[in-house]
Structure 1
Amino acid sequence: AFAVALASLYHSEVKLNVEDIVGILAAAAVLQISTLFQKCITLMIKSISSPTVCKFYCAGCEYKVESLVKACERWLELNLIPQFMSNLHFHELPMELLQRILKSPRLFTYSEYHLLKTVIYWVFLKLNPKVQVLPTHGIILAYFNSLPWKTTFLKMEIGQKYIALFQSLRLHGVTNSQHLKEMQQINLLPKTWMLRLLTHHYHALHNGGDMPFLTNFSTQALRFGLFIEEEPQYYSKTISLYGFYFELKAFREKNGTTFTSYMQKIEYTDPNLHLQVFEPQSYSLRQEREVQYEIKVQSLVNGKWEVFSTGKLIQVFGNTPKTCKSQVLQLNRLTLPLYVTFAFLFPSS
């Protein structure tokens, strides 16, 4: 690193390798070579990936380079779930950074359960630093299940420091019965948390989906995401929420330049719904459901990540073609990858 830094004093163009860039940045800082220091920062921002994001973030903090710190945080907001959580370098993520990313309004996730699973994996790796390969989901659950059952993990001495991480999650967004059963079996969360969570679900199921306990849309809405990375440029997902079913759609129009996303309510009698692989689910007989929702798309525009949103909307979804479809978000000339998020809340009737 010092050799490259010294060479830059004699040659205008010095080849910088991503593998050595943190060391070269350190050498440039010590030798006070400002031009080389800035070149390193520029290359680092362009080279953020799963293997480099933690190293670059720590370097940005050490040398007080806000642009690099912000770039790493922005990458994690989008790629924590799609790319990073299954990477070997995931355990290097600092706890305070993970907590900040979990609270970010721009965080992308496929569902709230994926965020819970990510935190569980991260905690497992912190407790088992010698693990070189991320085990299967079943093995990680078995590990937590093997801990003493006298109290829950977060009340144990080793688990108390992780409480803030789990408090950053929207646990009420985990609504699948299998996932809830899993949360109970591993004895991870305090009993009071689980009781409150199950009580809220019970109330919602028996009151047509109403969520009176959730009043802050920006911090409590349930999020579901579509990650569009490559062709085909048509993606859809069907979600079940307290007996109501919604299809989330995102696709590129035939003209090739317009990107469209929207959601629509599906009746429980729809034959296409029953063709999909669903666990036994509840079905609501209500014809209408008032929904607070937002559709958000994040994409690169001229080298910068931009956020496009419908903003928070309130709409009554019915069972006719005119009332079952949400507002459409149409955007022009976006490039892949795209991160599409649908956020939901069912207000009290």
Structure 2
Amino acid sequence: MASNPPAPAAPFVPSTEPFGFAPRTDEGQWEEWNPTAESIRPVRGKHRVSKQRGGGLARSSTVLGVGVIAAVGAGGMASANTGKPPVSISMPDLASVSHVFGDDEAAPKGSATALSSVGVTTEDTAQGARDAGEALRDRIMAQAEAQQVQVDSKAQAVTEATFAKQVDAAATKAEQDAAAKAADAKQKAEAEAKKKEEQARLAELAKQFKLPVGSYTITGTFGQAGSMWSSGYHTGLDFAAPTGTLIKAIHSGTITEAGWAGSYGYRTILTLDDGTELWFCHQSSISVSVGQKVATGDVIGRVGATGNVTGPHLHLEVHPDGQATGIDPMTWLRGNGLNP
């Protein structure tokens, strides 16, 4: 077996390194041991104590301290990010870290797990590895999204309210238009019904009333001003017709006057049942007498030019209730279904 040559003798100096060994006086003379590769081969099944190197323990302590700090930091980060309670840290056995004390090649292989991940699950590691800025961005994006949802909800509510108001306004307008159309149609229908009723009434009256002459020309109307009339205006309606044209009773009634009447010439007064007096003036002849009952269309005289006239014509006046002042004969005739 090969061995290393003995080293030169040197005076013994007690070591000042940590864990140094002091000489023992009860074991005799101290001799330096020069190990060889064969003499330091580890015995299987036993722990191997590696040769002390200068500053080895200090360096190992530093590595262990950094590992512990990293593990504690990782646990704190995981706890801060996940809200879980701090995890316990278990130290590996000496075999797993023996390479820091001796020959790396000859040391048994221990666990490859970093001290910073000891006691930390894969899920915790992944969660703890997330960047704080990314987590903050996620929170900001979530908050912005929530605010946008609120804004969209409010906008949607405003839009729906506006649309509902527009629908209500349109419905109200439609109802108003329909009501207006219905009212207008009702008014038109009522007016049409009244018109038909009036036409029926006038048609019935036309059977009871008749124009005084059959062929004529209207030459003077009620209210015309002129010096030829003593009152200063025309008080009746003139039917110009040839002398001798028959004059007929406009309606049934009683003859209350028949004879000469000054400027009216020969005049016949027919009093109706309601008290209205009809004056037939300027006649050439009279065919009835006072107190005589006549019916509609009976002959009461003939057209002439007696009294204050410029030519042959029938001067007709209407005096309601026998009043001295007459009314427009045209209006009265039309009101009784006649159209001169």
Range into which the TM-score falls when normalised by the shorter chain: under 0.3
TM-score, scaled relative to structure 2: 0.19
- State which structure, 1 or 2, has the greater radius of gyration over its C-alpha atoms: 2
* Structure 1 or 2: more strand by fraction: 1
TM-score, scaled relative to structure 1: 0.19
